[in-house]
Structure 1
Amino acid sequence: MSMKKKRVSLLLTALVTLSMALSACTGNDNTANTNSSDDPVELIWYTIGTPQKDLNRVLEEINKYTLDKIGATLDVKLIDFGDYTQKMQVMVASGEPMDILFTSSWAFDYVQNSRKGAFLQLDDLLKNQGKGIVDAINPAFMEGSKVDGHNYAIPANKELPAQEVFRFNKELLDKYNLDLSSVKTMADLEPLLKTIKENEPEVTPYAMVKDFMPVMPFDYVIEKMPMAVYMDTSDYKVVNIFETPEMKEALQTVRKFYLAGYISPEVATSTSVDDLYKAGKWFTDRAATQPLADNLWSVSYGYPVISTPASQPYIYNWSVMGSMQAISANSEHPEQAMEFLNLLNTDPVLRNMMDSGIEGVHYEKISSNMIRNLPEAKNYDMATFSLGNIMINYLNEGDPENKWEQFKQFNDSGIPAPLLGFNFDTSKITNEIAAVQNVKEEFWAPLMTGSVDPDQYLDKANEKFKAAGLDTIIAEAQTQLDAWKAANDK
């Protein structure tokens, strides 16, 4: 089986650690052909993912199906992950013909492009051609992805909250009989890290990269920037995270770990610890989880990995907007585009063809809702998370029967973050954002990874952030947030 298809969606360890989560078979078979015209329509769909050798072969089968169901066929154009944003910006600006296009919080920015008029407002289409979508998708996705009160894209029905966990190499846990029951915070890791450091000189006790951030009780106005509100806020006051006692204490803990040798001395410039994972030479790290994540990590690494919660499962703007399909503002066939998206999100036959290819060529069924990949699957390995409702996918061999039930329970457990639904308009403060970004480049990684002493560097960082205009950004964010709070009875 393609490992890519089995890999877990790590929501944002760095926004783009991408999930190839697959799976089961539920949903309604919306069979009516509601195309008002007798002439078949070709829908042009730009979406994200590595171009696939067998795409056209699979599309032949898909198009027979969609022609019968909705009187439309597809021309799917795949653009690789690293190129997607730039290429789409150019094509949308030049008016390239397209009907459907992938957008998200991390690739071809959803909020920004909605406001710029790149996407059609979908409210009426959802009521008419998209009723099945509204019924099929967790309502928090639809509500949380509104921009200025309107839906401009259809979110994929997938894992909804983002929950951080501490992960552990279970072989080392067992070898030293270490107990996880008392591990709730980063500081609680210290005695375990000490044991590993003293007994396993070849092992990095805490595997960490330069974009590490401690789990903090904040919801950030802009991800990985220093403006935030507290998770338990009632007044929605925006703070500079580097002026809070919680951040100072967390940075002091990371500094202590760094000085004790629990973290690699090169951490502030390290972009990957894959070599440690491959060799099993790590003890703990932190990641975002989803149901069955421990199983997927263990399969991926080839040895057992277990985890314990490091945060609550919160629903953020960026987790709701992680994977979406919009209809182009210039589409000549918006009704048919919505009919197709409705079918994709409610019809297991179409969804699984789109995802896994042709039965008997790319996969075989081993039960009514479970499949096994065949060797040809290597020629058709799509980015599952990007293709709509994952909860009507077939199960992969080895998945538990209740996999999608577990996803639904995980989604139901999600706690809305305070800024869910608030979208900061930065158009008045672009210069200040750029200047603060420059200061961030200088101080962020060294501070967050413990590479410098926070007692000395926090004041220097705050001085430079203020000089760059951080207080102006915070004031603008506060003005917008106060208006949003009033309008939404927060």
Structure 2
Amino acid sequence: MLRLMGKKKGFMWVLIVVLAVSMILSACSKPEGEIDPVGSSPETTATATANTDKGSDAPLEFVELTWYMPPPITPQKNQDNVMAEVNRRLKEKINASLTFQFVDWGSFDEKMRLMSASGEPYDLVFTTNWSNKLANNVSKGAFVPLNDLLEQYGQHILQRIEPRYWPAVSFSGEKYAIAHEMTYAQTFSFSYSKELVDKYNFDYKNAHTLKDIEPFLQTIKENEPGITPLLAIGTSTPGLITLDDNKDYLNSFAYYDLDDGQIKSSFDNEDAREVYRTLSDFYKKGYIAKDAATKTDRTLEGKSGKYAVMPSPGAYSEDGSKATSLYGFPAYESLYARSIISTASVQSTGTAISKTSKNPERAMMLLDLIYADKSFFNLLAYGLEGDDYTVVSGQGTDNPTVQTNAEATWAVWHPWIGPLFDQWPSNWNSAEALETMKADNESSTVSLLLGFNFDPEPVKQEVSQVQAIIDEIIPILDTGTSPDPDKLLDEAQARAENAGLDKIMDEIYKQYDTWKAENGK
């Protein structure tokens, strides 16, 4: 159960950081996208869309759009300048303006719940399987169905996203989010301080589990009084899953075991229990900070330079470049896990349109523009040339290589808003890395349950009660602060069963059987 949670948010950070942080605006580069069905270029199509609504000769009225998401970086020092250029282009393309509303991680889920419950208007929102959860929002009617909007205003999106991935964000045949193109087979790595690894000659390349890194943690504990050996921080703690993990985590309560083809309660995940025992042991030995369970910002903590081993920076980079970019000092990495392609991994980052949006059509036009116009997409992600990044090579082309500032002044991770593989190569993802990730999607294991979405509505009361128990114990387990994780899990399982866990599992089995029959599985 808990492994799911660990994997999810770890997957998010992996998602967070896998994305890429480099900023751009090349006024000379032409936008690029898929060929429009009627033969016009993306630039021409987008501009024409700004002038008239589809199916009408009437010009579009100017509208203001808002897009809610957690902050990719804090602070966004160049936000005013970047958004001025973004909105100059949007006015021309779709006669709209955009405001990003960045809500801190600790408040984001609750903020979006309250806004949806109160009917407060907003347009676009970050949604995943681990934050502002897609399934929960769909069951509450918080998001707009997208099938018709995509057909009318989202043709570039439909042309780009492979049909096999849409079921992951569909409920009863209706699409409810754009699962942005990214590396769905995510890789996870330990991030190490290069200085400390070199100083103590640690063989990090052969370290792939928590137990593999223990000798290094012990060395740091004994010789570096100002350094905490391991940054354990909620579900971002590195090593929560392993290379041997062969599970499709359906939700907080259940996982599908690819080894035996069975759906099981997450409380019965023996691999997770073993990880929690190891983390508890590490905590007792002083490898983990005493207040680890109260920490929330893994990037800020990692950048402090007070840790020897930090969480995964995103997709694994053999040369340590991703960790170096994220944490701001030379780093090494070693691979510790690789996810399968599943409903959860496809849902790991996406965008939905709020039911309270006054302009859902224009919101879809914006999303489609991102898929049609590569220059605009990278402007949103990287920022302004000269302010937020420099062009290393390929100036004036549609795919320059860029270098972000040592101190990031603007960033919106590419997969949070659009197709990762339209990212301009940078110090975050080289052209080679992007090609490797794209190839991984084609070669990685795909869960037989891809497209199965559990609907919690029939057992929503039980789900709420059991989820509260899980939310209570996860920060304790994932940071090793439980002196006896088995006892904590057993007690939590008993509480969960009293709160309706068995009823939830029965409903999962029932829906799974129906899904198999409907899809010929």
Q: How many Å separate the matches in 1 of 2:515 and 2:355? A: 26
Name the SS of the counterpart of 1:296 in structure 2. helix
The alpha carbon displacement at 1:117 in A equals 4.2
From 74, 84, 87, the counterpart of 1:57: 84
**Comparing 160-169 with 244-253, which one deviates more in the overlay?**
244-253
The alpha carbon displacement at 1:418 in A equals 5.1
For the 8 Å contact 2:322–2:428, the answer to whether it is kept is no
2:172 corresponds to = 148
- Is 1:344 the counterpart of 2:370? The answer is yes
Q: How many Å separate the matches in 1 of 2:193 and 2:488? A: 33
For the 8 Å contact 2:149–2:364, the answer to whether it is kept is yes
From 152, 164, 172, the counterpart of 2:196: 172
Name the SS of the counterpart of 2:174 in structure 1. coil
For the 8 Å contact 1:26–1:392, the answer to whether it is kept is no
Deviation sequence 1:26-51 (CA, Å, 0-9, x none): 63342333643333213543212568
- The verdict on how the C-alpha distance between 1:381 and 1:187 changes in structure 2, with shifts beyond 3 A counting, is closer
For the 8 Å contact 1:316–1:417, the answer to whether it is kept is yes
1:391 corresponds to = 421
Deviation sequence 1:95-118 (CA, Å, 0-9, x none): 666665554445544333334444
2:229 corresponds to = 205
From 318, 322, 325, the counterpart of 1:296: 322
User: Which structure 1 residue ranges, 5 or more long, are not aligned?
Assistant: 1-8, 67-71
1:412 corresponds to = 442
The RMSD of aligned alpha carbons is 4.0
Name the SS of the counterpart of 2:11 in structure 1. coil
- The verdict on how the C-alpha distance between 1:233 and 1:307 changes in structure 2, with shifts beyond 3 A counting, is farther
For the 8 Å contact 2:16–2:314, the answer to whether it is kept is no
- The verdict on how the C-alpha distance between 1:463 and 1:429 changes in structure 2, with shifts beyond 3 A counting, is same
From 27, 37, 57, the counterpart of 2:33: 27
- The verdict on how the C-alpha distance between 1:316 and 1:304 changes in structure 2, with shifts beyond 3 A counting, is farther
Q: How many Å separate the matches in 1 of 2:391 and 2:149? A: 35
Q: How many Å separate the matches in 2 of 1:357 and 1:169? A: 29
2:157 corresponds to = 133
For the 8 Å contact 1:162–1:316, the answer to whether it is kept is no
- The verdict on how the C-alpha distance between 1:481 and 1:107 changes in structure 2, with shifts beyond 3 A counting, is same
The alpha carbon displacement at 1:373 in A equals 6.6
For the 8 Å contact 1:160–1:315, the answer to whether it is kept is yes
From 325, 329, 338, the counterpart of 1:312: 338
For the 8 Å contact 2:316–2:334, the answer to whether it is kept is no
The amino acid that maps onto 1:391 is: F
2:283 corresponds to = 258
The alpha carbon displacement at 1:479 in A equals 1.8
2:66 corresponds to = 46
2:309 corresponds to = 284
- The verdict on how the C-alpha distance between 1:359 and 1:37 changes in structure 2, with shifts beyond 3 A counting, is farther
Q: How many Å separate the matches in 2 of 1:254 and 1:356? A: 37
Name the SS of the counterpart of 1:12 in structure 2. helix
- Is 1:221 the counterpart of 2:227? The answer is no
Q: How many Å separate the matches in 1 of 2:298 and 2:411? A: 25
2:507 corresponds to = 476
Name the SS of the counterpart of 2:21 in structure 1. coil
Compute the TM-score of the two structures, normalised by the length of structure 2: 0.75
For the 8 Å contact 1:432–1:469, the answer to whether it is kept is yes
The alpha carbon displacement at 1:442 in A equals 5.2
For the 8 Å contact 1:265–1:451, the answer to whether it is kept is no
Q: How many Å separate the matches in 2 of 1:248 and 1:398? A: 34
For the 8 Å contact 1:11–1:288, the answer to whether it is kept is no
- Is 1:11 the counterpart of 2:36? The answer is no
From 459, 463, 469, the counterpart of 1:433: 463
For the 8 Å contact 2:20–2:428, the answer to whether it is kept is no
1:4 corresponds to = none
For the 8 Å contact 1:44–1:97, the answer to whether it is kept is no
Deviation sequence 1:374-394 (CA, Å, 0-9, x none): 99x95x655544332243243
User: Which structure 2 residue ranges, 5 or more long, are not aligned?
Assistant: 1-8, 25-30, 35-40
The alpha carbon displacement at 1:22 in A equals 4.6
Q: How many Å separate the matches in 2 of 1:142 and 1:22? A: 28
Q: How many Å separate the matches in 2 of 1:456 and 1:98? A: 44
Q: How many Å separate the matches in 2 of 1:386 and 1:89? A: 19
- Residue pairs, 1:315-326, within 5 angstroms: 315-326=341-352
- The verdict on how the C-alpha distance between 1:144 and 1:22 changes in structure 2, with shifts beyond 3 A counting, is farther
For the 8 Å contact 1:167–1:285, the answer to whether it is kept is yes
The alpha carbon displacement at 1:345 in A equals 0.4
Work out the number of aligned pairs and report it.
Answer: 471
Name the SS of the counterpart of 2:95 in structure 1. strand
Q: How many Å separate the matches in 1 of 2:278 and 2:442? A: 33
Compute the TM-score of the two structures, normalised by the length of structure 1: 0.79
1:69 corresponds to = none
From 184, 205, 211, the counterpart of 1:160: 184
Q: Identity across aligned pairs (percent)?
A: 29
Q: How many Å separate the matches in 2 of 1:249 and 1:84? A: 31
The alpha carbon displacement at 1:252 in A equals 3.0
The alpha carbon displacement at 1:462 in A equals 3.0
- Residue pairs, 1:364-379, within 5 angstroms: 365=391, 367=395, 368=397, 369-371=400-402, 378=409
Q: How many Å separate the matches in 1 of 2:353 and 2:89? A: 20
For the 8 Å contact 1:257–1:450, the answer to whether it is kept is no
For the 8 Å contact 1:21–1:385, the answer to whether it is kept is no
The alpha carbon displacement at 1:425 in A equals 1.8
The amino acid that maps onto 2:182 is: K
